[in-house]
Amino acid sequence: MDMQELLSYPWSIMMPEFIILGVATFLSLLDLFMKEKTNRKIIAYIALAGVGAALFFVLRQLQTIGLEQPVYQILHDTYRLDGFAIAFKLIFLVGVAFCLILSLDYVKTKEISYEGEFYYLILTGLLGAMILASSADMITMFVGLELLSLSSYILVGLRKKRLQSNESAFKYVVSGGIATAIMLYGMSFIYGLSGSSNLFEIQDRLITAYTEGYEFLIYFAFFLLFVGMAFKISVVPFHMWAPDVYQGAPTPITAFLSVVSKAAGFALMLRLFIVTIWPIGEFNQMTGMADLIFFDLNFYLALAAAASMIIGNLLALRQTNIKRMFAYSSIAQAGYILVPLASLSHLFFIQNNQVVSTMIFYLFAYLFMNLGAFAVIQAVTNQAGTEDIKAFAGLYHRSPWKAFAMTIFLLSLAGLPITAGFFGKFMIFMVTLDQGLFWLAAVMVVTSVVSYFYYFGVFRQMYMRSGDSDTPIRLSVGIGVVTVLCLVGTIVLGLVPTDALQMIHERFHFTELFFR
C-alpha cells in the first residue's frame, strides 16, 4: 500500500474509534504521571467526554450514511461502516456512558485501588466492541473481540482485595480462553476452505466448497464458531461463568458485561453467520427455492435459545443474591434475543430487515431496562452493605420513587405491558409465529411466566416487607441521572414501540449487511 492510497481513504468514518483510542491513550499516560494520592475523578470526566464526542460523530454518520453512499469500506474491506455497525455502536456508546456515570459513585467505596485503570480499561473494551461491529474480516473481528475480552477480564478482577472478585476473574479468564481457542479453531477451518479471511470472499468460496462435497467441514466449522460465540453471549450450555462473574465483578462492570459485552457478541454472531454461512446451499428445482444449510442449522440455534430461556429462568428462582439472579436473567434474555436468528427461513429474503430490526429494538430496550435496574441495585446494595435480595425490603416506604423505577425496570424485563420489554418480546414472538416455530413461541410464553416469580420476589421485598432500617436511600447525582434516563427510555419505547421500530427500520438499512 503506497502513501497516496493510504491518504485517499475516507478516514473520517473511523473518527469515533480514533476518539476513543486517543482518549484511552491519553488517560493511561495521565494516570501514569499523576501522583498516587491525587483524586482521579478527572479521568472519569475526560473518559465520559470522549464517549460523548464519539457518540456525536456516530450520530452524524447516521445522518449522512445512505445519502451519498450506503456502505463505506476501507483498509482492503476489513473495516466497514453501514447501518448495522452504526446501530450497534449507538448501543455500545450509550451503554458505556451509563456505566461510567455509575462508576463515579462506585469508586468512592475505595474497593478499587487503581481508579485510573478502571476508566481507561472500559474505553479499551468499548474500542474493541466498536471495531468488532465494523469488521468485515475475521482477523479484525478477532482483534476487536480480544481487545474487548482482555479488558473485561481485568475489569472483573479489579477489586484485588476481595477473594470472590479474584476467583470470578480467574474463572472468566480460563473459560474465555477456552472459548476463544475453540472459535479460532473454527475460523481456521473456514480459512482452510476459502483461502481468505474477508467475509464476502468467504461467502463466495464456501458456496463452491459446499458444492464440491465439503459440507461436513462447513457444518463442523459452524459448530465450533457457535461454541465460541455462545460463551460471549452466555447462552446454554456455555453459560456457567456468568453467575460467578456477575456476582464477583464491581456493579458497573456487571452492567457493562450484561449489556455492552453481550451486544458485541450478538454483533459478531450476526455479521459472521449471516454474511458467510447463511447464503450457502443449492437450488432445489422441485420446490423452486434454495436449500440453504442455515435452514438445517436453525433447529440447533432454536434449541440453544429454548434451553437458555428455560434454564436461565428456572435457576434464577433459587437465587438470593440479586446480582446472581440478574446473571441468570441475562442468560434467559440472551435466549430471547437469539430467537429471531433461529427463526430465519425462506421468508427471511422478504423480512430480513424486519428480523434484524426486531433484534436491535430489543437490544435497545434491554439496554435501558437492565442498566436502570443495575443503577438501583448499586444504590441499594451500597447502603445496605449486602447484595442479598432482602436489601430491598421496605424500599417503597424508604424511597418510593426508587421503588417505582425498579418496578418499571422489572416489569419490562418480565415482559409485561406497557413497557419496552413487553413489545420487544411481542415482536420477537410474532416473528417466531410467522416462521412456523410454534414450539419455540410456546417456550417464550411459558418461560416469561416463570420469570414473573423471581421478579415478583423483589416486588414482595420492596412493598410487603419491612426493612431493618427506615433511613431513606440517598442517590448520588450519577445514579439518579442513569435511573431517570433509563426510566424515560423504558417508558417511551413502551408507549411508542411502533414508531421506534419504524425509525430503526428506516434509518438502519440492514439489507446492506449482505452486500459489499
pLDDT in tens, 284-343: 444 444 455 666 677 888 888 999 999 999 998 888 888 899 999 999 989 988 888 777
454, containing H or E segment: helix 438-464
| Proportion of the chain above pLDDT 90, given as a percent | 15
Which of 202, 71, 223 has its CA nearest to residue 137? 202
Residues 316-338 as b or e (16 or more Cβ within 10 Å = b): beebebbbbbbbbbbbbbbbbbb
Residue at 222 is within a domain? no
Residue 424 structural domain: 308-516
Q: Tell me what the mean pLDDT of segment 257-279 comes to.
A: 84
Q: Kindly state whether residue 483 falls inside one of the protein's structural domains.
A: yes
Q: How confident is the model at residue 125 (pLDDT cuts 50, 70, 90)?
A: very high
Query: Cβ–Cβ contacts within 10 Å for residue 165, how many?
Result: 22
CB atoms within 10 A of CB 150: 16
Answer whether residue 431 is part of any domain: yes
Average per-residue pLDDT for the chain: 82
**How many domains is the chain built from?**
1
Please indicate, yes or no, if residue 145 is contained in any of the structural domains.
Answer: no
Q: What is the pLDDT of residues 487-514, one digit of tens each?
A: 999 998 888 888 888 787 777 766 666 6
Q: Is residue 146 part of a domain?
A: no
Asked if residue 200 lies in contact with residue 274, where contact means CB atoms within 8 angstroms, the answer is: no
Domain membership of residue 369 (yes or no) is: yes
Residues 458 and 389 sit within 8 Å (Cβ to Cβ): yes
Q: Buried (b) or exposed (e) across 207-246, using 16+ Cβ within 10 A?
A: bebbeeebbebbeebbebbbbbbbbbbbbbebbebbbbbb
Q: Per residue in 382-420, pLDDT tens?
A: 877 788 888 888 888 888 888 888 899 999 888 888 888
The verdict on residue 421 lying in a domain is yes
* Residue 92 buriedness (CB in 10 A; 0-12 / 13-18 / 19+): buried
Distance between CA atoms of 183 and 198, rounded to whole angstroms? Answer: 16
Is the pLDDT assigned to residue 161 strictly greater than 90?
no
- Give the single-character DSSP code of 418: S
Buried-state track 35-61, b at ≥16 Cβ within 10 A, e below 16: eeeeebeebbebbbebbebbbebbeeb
CA–centroid distance for 493 within its chain: 18
The three cell numbers locating residue 435 = 416462521
**Full-model pTM:** 0.89
* Domain assignment of residue 6, yes or no: no
